[in-house]
Structure 1
Amino acid sequence: MLTGSFANFAVAQEQTSSSVLENINTEDLKEHPDVEEYIRNQGFEHLLKGDSATIERGSEKYELLSEELFLEELEKPEALRDIDISEEKLEEIATELGLEKPKPDNVTIKENILIKRNKDTNAISNVWYLYYAVNDSAFTVSIINVGFDKIDSIVADLRKYNKKGKEWVVDANTSLRALQVGNGNVFKWELDRNAVSDYFEFDIVVLEDGTVWHYDNKSGKLQYEWQRYYFDVGAYKSIKPLGGERHHIVSDKALQEAGFSNTDSFPAIRMMKQDHEDTPNWGNRTSSKEWRVKELEYLNNEDYKGLMRFEVDGFRNETDDEGKFPNLAIKYNDYLVAGAVLAYEYFGVN
């Protein structure tokens, strides 16, 4: 499944142009029947299907966008790439923990429909479907020309920020200069994830017949829409922090006090630093010490499944500092499920 939404563009128009340009959202297309008719008459009716939230996998629109963007969904959820477990057992563990069974990640896109009209008659002379996408390895800009007129130019400056501790730092810069833009992929900036989280900031200008669209996400609610996460789960010693921190799902102290000496092999989750500090067994707070006492009780009673439910509940009771998820259990859902699978292996629980 692709997830998508329309970008908000500010429009500035040259008074000397014989054309005007407008931008409309998918949900507003019904209010523009002439645009819908134009798109249908040009043979692109599939672009009208699906709303701004979901584009169903297998649909003509999905296949078109996937082909143009060179996108591939993971065959397995990222957190489970190196874990061999049946779907039935995975479902059982997730249900026991009150979590969702991990699913392949979605690919996020942003869409924008540009319409050129005659200034005097308001007749449509061209429509372009612009879309931007971020996957695990690249940021892309692509276009579908619903009509026949190429866009005069697309110019963009892009910057990638990495999360380092609790700060954002610049990781890379690039720019895009494209003239007479027709169909297909306009730009592909290949950048693998190399931090616990990153995001793309950009300033994009589209010029057509003297009319300019300008879109940037340098501030406000759009700033982090192009954010990627690079969480991971595995043995503590095998996980690199990458600007975040490694979180023992069960605290190292409780494990050692219960007689487990190889705690570096116990599963840990790569988390954002603030999220890690918000987990209930982190640090020397009174509440953290009390939490570790309860962990030890579960360990001494060999109630390992009860222990994992306890840990997940702890995540569930902590809010997401970024405000993007209702709680940390939802934010780290897949990694908690995968972590439970690894923890049960560590404890020898079937």
Structure 2
Amino acid sequence: MSTFIDIHVLQTVPSSNMNRDDTGRPKTAIFGGVPRARVSSQAWKRATRNDFGCYLSPDERGVRTRRIIEELVERIRKLDDSLTQAGAIAHAKGVMTAAGVKFKAARTKKDATASPFDLSEYLLFVSNQQLDRLARLAVDAGDDGVDKAAAKTAIDSDHGIEVALFGRMVADDTSLNVDASVQVAHAISTHVVEPEYDYYTAVDDKTSKDDEDAGAGMIGVIEFNSSTLYRYATIDLTQLMENLGDAQVAGRAVEAFARSFVVSLPTGKQNSFAHSTLPDAIVAQVRDRRPVNLVGAFELPIRPDDTAAISTLSARALARRAGEVEQLAGTPVAGFVVAGTTDAGDALTGVGEPVDLETLGARLRDHAVEALGGSS
């Protein structure tokens, strides 16, 4: 039986445009028949990965890039400093081609010098351990060429925590795919959101009111909104264990993801809005059958009133929904609540054990290790 760790977050964000669409507008969604603010799962996964440096060593992390040749050349020349750049490039391309990766020449702008480094035809998510192993294979093989089976093994084992969590997809060669153990929902506002617009001007410091071109140096408009967001992610411990093969490492992955997901924030337009906030409330639940997204708590949008903040009203709705789903999904194996505000914490009384964020990470780690047969 699989074990899942569900993480639910309520977070109030002020005027912001942290995740915009192709027209520059904040992303939105229709839910419950009304417009909501939305932040894509991709944006929050990126923010989470960027925060991993606080909890994971470089060996446990990875890189997602089309510039995989450049990454390998640096490692190859550290292993064999007698190699020229051209020789290291040939070795790097040889080992990646043996692994099944396809390349094409990098595009260059007009009049720019052509890059000597080819680009992979798609983004590759590779752990630093895998890159080190591929570089060693390339150096050891020299001009004889790398064995294809060895190259495949090097890129398809020791995935590292980041790849094990978020997975890897290579459409041209499914043997390189790694199933993600984490699912992240698009965050949506718990209430109706209407767009607002900031009409702004930028003043030219070198003009005066007597100049012919006196006035604004530029004029622009930025669309923004503010909201209390419901965020959700779940970790499939069985898949995580399959990807990592070690219960203790899987436990560390759970702790790192939980802490980074909770505190991370997409940075779009942050210099214009300074929207850095922390969650109002966090609920984490360990389940032994299937994950449960509690977004149904907000199908009927929260409406502001004079009795409580929207974040508090949202916490009450979340607590009510958490109790309702127990009739269908059963009682969670364990539940924890981190209160970012006193009122939200009071609203979630009984949903889980009150803890702080550091303790939450440690408790989820221990539950993961125990569920996977390790000793916490």
Q: Tell me if TM exceeds 0.5.
A: no
TM-score by length of 2: 0.26
Instruction: Determine which structure has greater relative contact order: mean sequence separation of CA pairs < 8 Å that are 6+ residues apart, divided by chain length.
Output: 2
Structure having the larger proportion of residues in helix: 2
Structure having the larger proportion of residues in strand: 1
